[in-house]
Amino acid sequence: MIAKLQFDAAVIGGGIVGGATALFLRKAGLSVVLIDKGFCGAQASGVNYGGVRRQGRPPEQLPLAERSHALWGQLRELIGIDGEYIRSGHLKIARTAENFAKLEAYADKVRPLGLDLELMGANSVKERLPWLTGDVSGASLCHDDGQANPRLVAPAFARAARANGATVLKNTPVNAVEATGSGFALMVGGGTEIRSRLLFNCAGAWANKFAEALGEPIPLTRIYPSMVVTEPLPFRLPFSLGEEGGGFYGRQVARGNYIMGGGRGQALENPDFSRPSVMAASSVMQRAIDLFPHLQHAQVIRFWSGTEGEMPDGNPVISASTRIEGLFHGFGFCGAGFQTGPAVGAVLCDLAVNGATTTPISAFSIGRFTANHLNHEAKKGTA
C-alpha cells in the first residue's frame, strides 16, 4: 500500500540551500517536508572549501551575497551552532602587475555597490605575511569575509528546519515528480507519495532532472572541485587566501590544518559522482609550496572532491518557474553557493510566501535558459 503525506511545501535536496529554504518556510508558518536521497549536507554543501566570501563575485551576485553576509552573522541564532564561522578576512593576492590591475579594477567596480576592499602593495602584503615566497605585486583584502566548517554548518540547517517543525526525510530519493494542476505529486523511496502545494527544486548538481521533468530543461553541467588538507602545523595564515588568475585558494584552521583547493576531480562512470585526482592534488600542493615554503615537508592527510552544478554564464538559477505556479528553483551555484546558500533560502521563501523578494535576482531567472532552449528547439524544427 502506498503511504500518502500532504504538506504545504516540499523541498527536494537537504544541502545548505534546501535546508535554509525549509527553515525559512517553517519560520513563515508553512508545513514543510525536506527530502534528501542521502544524508542532509553530505554533498557539495558539506564537502566544500568553507570559503564565506563576497570578494570576487560578479556584481549581480553582491546584493544576494550581502544578504547572506548578514545571515552568517546570525548563524548561532539560526542553526544553533557557530559552525567555526569566523570573519577572518579574505585576501586575494596578485603575482603580476597585470593581475593587480584586475584587482584594482574590481575594487573600483564593487565600491559603489557597498563592498569595500583594501588594496595593498607588495610591501604591505609582505609585512602581513612575511613568509610568503615568490613575486607578489599586491593584494586586495575584504576584511569581513571569512570561513566556516562546511561539515558542521551544512547538516545544521536541516537539523534547524526539523527543530522548527519540518519533517526531514533522509535516505529517501525523489524518484518522480509531476504537477497535478493544484500542486505537486512526488514519488519517493519507500513507496511514499507526497503531495504539496509548493515545490522547491534545491537538488544541487541533480536539479536538472527535476527541472526537465517539470518542463524547464536547463544546460546544467557537473564540475568536481577538489580539495587537499594537511596535518596540523603552527598557525601562520590568518586569512582565507585566493590568487587572482591562479585558481589556487587556501586557509588554515585554528587547529593548524591547511585546507586548499584549485584542481578538479574526475567523474566516475556515473557522472553524478567523482573521485579526486592525484594529479590535481599534487598540483595544488605544488602551488601551495610556491607560496607557503613551510608546507614543503607537510603531510597531506586527506584529499577529496565534490559534485557541483555549473551554469554556462556562471550564475545560479534562483527563480520561480516560468511555467508552473508554485514551483521554485535554487541550484547551479558554480562552485560558490556555500556563502550565498542561507540567503537563497530566504529569497525562495520570500518568493513563495510574498510573491516577490527585495533582493535583486533578475540575473538568476530560469527563463534565461528556457527561452534559449525553446528558440534552439524551434530552430532545429525549421532546419
Residues that bind ligand FAD (CB under 6 A): 12-18, 35-38, 42-45, 47-51, 173-174, 202-206, 225, 227, 261, 306, 308, 331, 333, 335-339, 341
DSSP 285-336: HHHHHHH-GGGTTPPEEEEEE--EEE-TTS--EEEE-SSSTTEEEEE--TT-
CA distance 30 to 133: 54
HSE of 326 in the Cβ direction (CA atoms, 13 Å)? 18
C-beta neighbour count of 144 within 10 angstroms:
17
What residue is closest to ligand FAD based on CB?
15
Question: CA–CA separation, 365 vs 131, rounded Å?
Answer: 45
Q: Which is nearer to ligand FAD, 23 or 203 (CB)?
A: 203
Separation between Cα atoms, residue 172 and residue 168, nearest integer Å: 10
Q: How far is the CB of 382 from ligand FAD (least distance, A)?
A: 35
CB of residue 55 to ligand FAD, shortest distance in Å = 11
Grid coordinates 532545429 are at which residue?
A: 380
Q: Which is nearer to ligand FAD, 51 or 138 (CB)?
A: 51
The CA distance from 241 to 128, in Å, is 12
> Nearer to ligand FAD by C-beta: 183 or 332?
332
CB of 344 to ligand FAD, least distance (A): 8
Q: How far is the CB of 168 from ligand FAD (least distance, A)?
A: 11
Between CA 156 and CA 154 the distance in angstroms is 5
Q: Which three cell numbers stand for residue 217?
A: 530543461
Closest CB 177 distance from ligand FAD, rounded Å: 9
Name which of 122 and 188 has its Cβ closer to ligand FAD. Answer: 188
Integer CA distances (angstroms), 331 to 44, 118, 366, in order: 11, 32, 10
CB of 204 to ligand FAD, least distance (A): 3
Cα diameter, the chain: 72
- The SS3 call for residue 80 is coil
> Which CB atom, from 122 or from 199, has the smaller least distance to ligand FAD?
199
Distance in Å, CB of 153 to ligand FAD, minimum: 10
Could you report how far apart the first and last alpha carbons of the chain are, in Å? Answer: 49
| Closer residue to ligand FAD in complex, CB, 104/195 | 195
Q: Which is nearer to ligand FAD, 13 or 326 (CB)?
A: 13
